[in-house]
């Protein structure tokens, strides 16, 4: 049982005169045996051994998977740029080439770019040998265990019956992880991963850290800066989580679940509704759905709240519509599709009411939705264990039975639909049974050895710009770069990439808001 494992580690550490979760001076640096990756010859791969518990550096080890794109100009190399793509649950090792492709030639020439899968999180490719890389966390039932309740079919419940079913399933997840969870569940906080990152920095021979993190990766960067402020050379955090909201909350917000505190519901609603207004302003020549598209959106959502809309090809529910719109809103290029989708469902709804033929759906609705940076709400907590293992360790949450419904109701006041969607994404963290002694929850007010670059989009749905502003206030020598755009994270925006290039190579900080082109046309 995980709780006993944590208690035993704490007792042993206290007996040895060490503090649980704090890296001991005897931590051995991992040996990095870089070899060509089997599936992408542009990359090198390595299996990185690190302590399961940094308070016990000579105890059990785990292995993390790492990939490296070597610098194009190694003679003039600045160092290693470590990267993380968020989630929690994303594979940083699978993200290495994406960052290398997005960043400029100067960055690729002067930096090795390295992604290391966070502990408990495994990517899908580029393993040097069979079983070489990170093992995904599991809470696996065994023969004879009670049958689980039905898996939720919707991303968030509507009504008393669905709410009871979702709460019962959350109870099942917590009990299963308490009894059958892997030992790593007690060592999956961001602080644990940051200590891995610090070992990697030392192992590659860099005096100070260079890092790019987007979405939840911004929390990793902020945590490193708060824990090791004197070891910062250049840290870019993009699509920023408010670290206080994620970890503890302030004042009355401490009574709500972290998924309500971080404001993603408000951010999603703001991005979508402001884009609807922008479409109407742009006109049909630039946005074909223009013409009271905001009013159509309101009519569609009001209709779906009354019950499912039966169309010839599918059934549209309120929850499925909210989830699809939230997913699309994370990618700037998908906003024309949001407008087209709202217009189509409105016309289909009116056709059903009148008994006339329903128009065909847009062809792209048969495709898989885009896969934006970072994670978002999912239906099944069991498949979302990497997220829960990290987020529930990091965050202080209320434990009472009504905490999730209370948080959802609070978030729904300003973000109907999206507040509930994001709140229930972390519902299993209420009364989470695994204690992580190493979790870091502040203080966040630090002066770093070099300024970190804090980046926020004006219309970021998942991590609203309020998070970037909060971190900028907490770290007084940081620099805020505001990117006037939609979507989650600014990695694809040319003006942001130019600022990243100057910051990483020349140590230059941006001085103005980053302007992008119009959303439509």
pLDDT digits (tens, 9 = 90+) for 147-163: 889 999 899 999 999 99
Percent of the chain with pLDDT over 70: 89
Give the chain's length.
Answer: 521
More confident residue, 86 or 392: 392
CB 68: neighbour CB atoms within 10 A? 21
- Domain extents in the chain: 66-127+188-247+442-515, 265-361
For the chain, the farthest-separated pair of C-alpha atoms sits apart, in whole angstroms, at 77
What integer pLDDT is reported at residue 368 of this predicted model? Answer: 56
What integer pLDDT is reported at residue 124 of this predicted model? Answer: 57
More confident residue, 5 or 438: 438
Q: Indicate whether 7 pLDDT > 70.
A: no
The conformation of residue 67, written as its DSSP 8-state character, comes to E
Mean pLDDT of 88-115: 95
How far apart CA 93 and CA 91 sit, in angstroms, is 5
Nearest to 375 by CA among 306, 426, 340: 426
More confident residue, 89 or 501: 501
Q: C-alpha angle with apex 96: 118 to 264, nearest 5 degrees? A: 60
pLDDT category, 376, cuts 50, 70, 90? low
How far apart CA 251 and CA 370 sit, in angstroms, is 37
- CB-based contact 295:315 (threshold 8 Å): no
More confident residue, 387 or 371: 387
What integer pLDDT is reported at residue 27 of this predicted model? Answer: 65
Mean pLDDT of 283-305: 97
The conformation of residue 450, written as its DSSP 8-state character, comes to S
Among 27-31, 447-451, 508-512, the range of highest mean pLDDT: 447-451
Architecture of domain 66-127+188-247+442-515: 3-Layer(aba) Sandwich (3.40)
Question: What rounded mean pLDDT belongs to the chain?
Answer: 90
Mean pLDDT of 498-515: 95
Q: C-alpha angle with apex 32: 30 to 36, nearest 5 degrees? A: 155
Q: Indicate whether 378 pLDDT > 80.
A: no
Nearest to 479 by CA among 276, 279, 232: 232
- Write out the two tokens for 165: 């079913």
Mean pLDDT of 19-28: 48
Determine which of 215-229, 373-387, 391-405, 455-469 has the lowest per-residue pLDDT on average: 373-387
What integer pLDDT is reported at residue 377 of this predicted model? Answer: 54
pLDDT category, 374, cuts 50, 70, 90? very low
How far apart CA 381 and CA 389 sit, in angstroms, is 11
pLDDT category, 136, cuts 50, 70, 90? confident
pLDDT category, 373, cuts 50, 70, 90? very low
pLDDT category, 133, cuts 50, 70, 90? low
The conformation of residue 111, written as its DSSP 8-state character, comes to E
pLDDT category, 84, cuts 50, 70, 90? very high
The answer for residues whose C-beta is within 8 angstroms of residue 140's C-beta and 6 or more apart is 180
What integer pLDDT is reported at residue 192 of this predicted model? Answer: 97
Percent of the chain with pLDDT over 90: 80
What integer pLDDT is reported at residue 21 of this predicted model? Answer: 38
435-468 confidence digits (pLDDT tens): 999 999 999 999 999 999 999 999 999 999 999 9
What integer pLDDT is reported at residue 38 of this predicted model? Answer: 85
Mean pLDDT of 121-136: 60
How far apart CA 140 and CA 473 sit, in angstroms, is 43
What integer pLDDT is reported at residue 19 of this predicted model? Answer: 33
- Write out the two tokens for 182: 């892997």
Mean pLDDT of 262-281: 98
pTM: 0.91
What integer pLDDT is reported at residue 2 of this predicted model? Answer: 34
């Amino acid at each position: 049982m995980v709780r006993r494992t944590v208690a035993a580690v704490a007792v042993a550490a206290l007996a040895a005169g060490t503090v649980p979760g704090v890296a001991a001076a005897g931590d051995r640096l991992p040996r990095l045996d870089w070899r060509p990756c089997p599936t992408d010859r542009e990359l090198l791969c390595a299996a990185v051994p690190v302590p399961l518990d940094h308070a016990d550096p000579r105890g059990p080890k785990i292995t993390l998977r790492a990939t490296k794109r070597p610098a194009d100009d190694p003679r003039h190399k600045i160092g290693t740029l470590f990267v993380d793509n968020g989630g929690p649950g994303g594979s940083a090792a699978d993200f290495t080439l994406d960052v290398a492709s997005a960043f400029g030639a100067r960055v690729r020439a002067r930096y090795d770019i390295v992604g290391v899968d966070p502990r408990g999180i495994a990517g899908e490719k580029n393993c040097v040998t069979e079983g070489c890389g990170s093992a995904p966390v599991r809470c696996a039932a065994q023969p004879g265990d009670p049958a689980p309740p039905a898996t939720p079919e919707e991303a968030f419940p509507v009504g008393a019956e669905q709410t009871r079913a979702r709460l019962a399933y959350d109870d099942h997840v917590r009990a299963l992880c308490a009894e059958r969870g892997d030992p790593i569940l007690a060592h999956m906080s961001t602080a644990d991963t940051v200590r891995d990152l610090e070992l990697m920095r030392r192992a590659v021979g860099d005096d100070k850290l260079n890092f790019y993190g987007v979405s939840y990766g911004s929390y990793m960067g902020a945590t490193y800066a708060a824990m090791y402020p004197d070891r910062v050379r250049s840290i870019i955090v993009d699509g920023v989580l408010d670290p206080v909201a994620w970890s503890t909350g302030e004042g009355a917000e401490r009574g709500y679940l972290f998924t309500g505190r971080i404001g993603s519901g408000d951010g999603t609603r703001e991005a979508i509704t402001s884009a609807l207004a922008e479409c109407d302003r742009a006109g049909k020549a630039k946005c074909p759905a223009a013409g009271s598209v905001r009013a159509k959106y309101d009519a569609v959502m009001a209709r779906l709240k009354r019950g499912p809309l039966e169309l010839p090809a599918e059934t549209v529910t309120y929850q499925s519509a909210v989830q699809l719109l939230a997913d699309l809103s994370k990618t700037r290029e998908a906003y024309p599709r949001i407008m087209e989708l709202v217009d189509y469902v409105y016309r289909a709804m009116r056709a059903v009411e009148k008994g006339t033929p329903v128009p065909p759906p847009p062809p792209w609705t048969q495709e898989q939705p885009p896969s934006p940076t970072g994670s978002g709400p999912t239906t099944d907590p069991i498949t979302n264990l990497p997220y829960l293992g990290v987020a529930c360790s990091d965050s202080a949450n209320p434990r009472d039975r009504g905490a999730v419904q209370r948080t959802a109701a609070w978030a729904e006041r300003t973000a109907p639909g999206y507040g509930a969607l994001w709140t229930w994404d972390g519902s299993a963290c209420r009364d989470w049974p695994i204690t992580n002694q190493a979790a870091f929850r502040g203080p966040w007010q630090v002066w770093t050895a070099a300024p970190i670059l804090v980046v926020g989009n004006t219309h970021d749905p998942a991590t609203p710009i309020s998070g970037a502003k909060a971190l900028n206030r907490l770290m007084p020598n940081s620099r805020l770069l505001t990117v006037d755009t939609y979507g989650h994270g600014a990695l694809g925006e040319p003006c942001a990439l130019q600022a990243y290039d100057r910051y990483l190579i020349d140590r230059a900080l941006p001085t103005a808001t980053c302007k992008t082109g119009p959303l439509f046309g």
